[in-house]
Copies of this chain bind each other. A is one copy, B any other.
Amino acid sequence: MITKISKVLVANRGEIALRVMRSCRELGIKSVAVYSDVDRTSMHVRYADQAFHIGPAASAESYLNIEKIIEVAKKSKADAIHPGYGFLSENAEFSKRCQQEGIIFIGPTPEVISTMGDKITARQTMIDGGVPVVPGTKENLDDDETALKVIRKIGLPVMIKASAGGGGKGMRMVDKEENILSALRAAKSEARSAFGDDSVYVEKYISSPHHIEFQILGDQHGNVIHLCERECSVQRRHQKVVEETPSPLLTPELREKMGEAAVAAAKAVNYYGAGTIEFLADNDHNFYFLEMNTRLQVEHPITERTTGYDLVKQQILIAEGQKLNIKQEEVFQFGHAIECRIYAEDTDNNFMPSPGLITHITEPMGLGVRTDGYVYEGYEIPIHYDPMISKLIIWARTREEAIERMRRALYEYKITGVKTSIKFLERIMDCRDFRDGNYDTHFIQNNEEFLLANDEAKQQFEDLAIVTAFLDYHHKLKNAQVSQEISKSSRWKDFGRRRGVYRASEN
């Protein structure tokens, strides 16, 4: 049965809210924004057809507030909800509430979210479905003795991981026998405080792991395809920084094998919607199921760019109950795409977040450049949410050209007022290991010295900086005098001249 969607509530903020609304607009679907106290001026509120306030800045009371969001959906007569990524996107309860209220949740069923959300269950499901997983336990490690036995059997090094985990929390690597028990305790304690659940399991540790994920699409009629891989090994503290496709590691044969495994993984849970199967792969082309993300990924645009499919539109068509309009054999990758995530952070100062007022932006333009952002001049980035400002997506016919284009685009990209990771990303593009396509998840760690090196050319531009500061100050002094003169004249004249004065001060 096909239910045409005519209005979508986007239960998110920032760039992904805008990105979803763009596709809605192209499909002739109205969009409804929700916003917290500090997001009244946020771009997604301005872009939407309708917008409703849902609570205070703290996510728990606004963007995670299921009742409030459902209430807005009903009030605005939205027939579907798109959760974006983060926030409620992988919340089975939310998916269930939508179902109960007769609102289409643009994503998988609550059951699938639950299955894939629990790592141990997901792992077992994959084993049953014939998808390769990292050797390890399937169950919670309860007592020390079992733990020791199991880990000895798998063989060191191993990784202890929280079942309910994510974002690197509740994870411990062990490479020495004597550290097993302390690592187990630490992982459990961290898991308990982070997720309220201290279940942990253990996996073989892959030493040069590549984080490679496959985009899949499944419809409600049992059809599942994949749209090839994304190489996400450039990570800092388990957060992705740069992604690219095709992966420099993959051969056509490996791509086919992994793609088949990804499709099998999705079929094992009767998955529908857009989803991502994350694999660990090693240099010998072994690969293992890591986890499934039952939502759109931050890095989905590189897949869109090389395959040409609009993934949000595909999500909407699937949610309407349409049959997939793409066949596996039609899918191919044209050229090469790279995404850089631009964060508001001070990379010279331990990557400390840098919220604040954006005073000026110059976006890169031209062939093969896509930016997905949400900040604008005069916008104040709030302290409460993710520090990602935008994503810069570059395409070219070859990987080499894509890297050169990314360097050019990063050079053009100017965001003033807050510190950003742009300079750090430029260093990544200059880094030999990255250019050679010869990297795994240890890339940033291994190249830290190069990536954070202080540029010796800095001194060269000192005088330029001094002269500019001097001249700006000099003009301010002059204008302050002018300003005093003007304030003597009448209020009415003030008006007329004000604009002139502002302008003069910019010359």
Contacts and interface: CB of A to CB of B under 8 A. Distances in A.
Interface of A: 18-19, 22-23, 25-28, 47, 301, 304-305, 308-310, 334-335, 362-363, 365-373, 376-378, 396-397, 401, 404-405, 407-408, 411-412, 476, 480-481, 483-484, 487, 491, 494-495, 506
A123 B312 CA distance: 51
A176 B494 CA distance: 65
A367 B483 contact: no
19 contacts: A18-B365, A22-B367, A22-B412, A26-B404, A305-B367, A308-B334, A310-B367, A310-B396, A363-B363, A363-B365, A365-B371, A365-B373, A367-B370, A368-B370, A369-B370, A476-B495, A483-B487, A484-B487, A484-B494
A23 B491 CA distance: 52
A288 B367 CA distance: 31
Contacts of A304: 367
Contacts of A362: 376
B305 A25 contact: no
A287 to B, nearest CB: 29
A408 B495 contact: no
The 9 A-B residue pairs whose C-beta atoms are closest, nearest first, are A487-B487, A26-B404, A25-B408, A308-B397, A22-B366, A26-B408, A480-B491, A334-B334, A304-B367
Contacts of A376: 362
Contacts of A308: 334-335, 396-397
A494 B506 contact: no
A401 B28 CA distance: 11
B19 A366 contact: yes
A37 to B, nearest CB: 15
Of the listed residues A26, A305, A335, A372, the one surrounded by the most CB atoms of chain B closer than 10 A to its CB is A26
A363 B371 CA distance: 10
A333 B367 CA distance: 16
A367 B408 contact: no
Contacts of A366: 18-19, 22, 370, 372
Of the listed residues A25, A47, A366, A401, the one surrounded by the most CB atoms of chain B closer than 10 A to its CB is A366
A491 B484 contact: yes
Given A305-B367, A491-B480, A26 B377 contact: no
Contact of A480 (B23, B407, B494, B506): B494
Nearest to A24: B408
A506 to B, nearest CB: 6
A476 B481 CA distance: 22
Contacts of A397: 308-309
Contacts of A483: 487, 494
A127 to B, nearest CB: 37
A334 B373 CA distance: 26
A304 B397 CA distance: 11
A411 B25 contact: yes
A391 to B, nearest CB: 10
Given A484-B487, A484-B491, 9 more contacts: A22-B367, A22-B408, A25-B408, A25-B411, A27-B404, A309-B397, A363-B365, A480-B494, A484-B494
A412 B301 CA distance: 19
Contacts of A19: 366-367
Contacts of A495: 476, 480
Contacts of A371: 365
Contacts of A26: 401, 404-405, 407-408
Of the listed residues A335, A404, A481, the one surrounded by the most CB atoms of chain B closer than 10 A to its CB is A404
Contacts of A25: 408, 411
Contacts of A401: 26, 310
B27 A378 contact: no
A304 B494 CA distance: 51
Contacts of A377: 377
A476 B369 CA distance: 40
A476 B495 CA distance: 8
Contacts of A506: 378
Contacts of A369: 370
Nearest to A326: B397
A366 B376 CA distance: 15
Nearest to A398: B308
A367 B25 CA distance: 13
Contact of A367 (B301, B368, B396, B412): B301
A401 B309 CA distance: 11
Nearest to A308: B397
A370 to B, nearest CB: 7
A495 B408 CA distance: 37
A310 B404 CA distance: 13
